[in-house]
A = this chain, B = another copy of it.
Amino acid sequence: MDLARHFGSAVRRQRNLLRLSQEELADRAQLDRSYVGRIERGEQNATLESAQKVSDALGVGLDVLFAVARDIATGRKD
- Residues of A participating in the B interface, judged by any CB pair closer than 8 Å: 1-5, 7, 45-49, 51-52, 55-56, 61-63, 66-67, 69-70
Contacts and interface: CB of A to CB of B under 8 A. Distances in A.
A62 B70 CA distance: 9
Nearest to A70: B63
How many protomers of this protein does the assembly include?
2
Contacts of A70: 61, 63
20 contacts: A1-B61, A3-B52, A3-B61, A3-B62, A4-B48, A4-B49, A4-B52, A4-B62, A7-B48, A45-B47, A45-B49, A46-B47, A46-B48, A47-B47, A47-B48, A62-B69, A63-B63, A63-B66, A63-B69, A63-B70
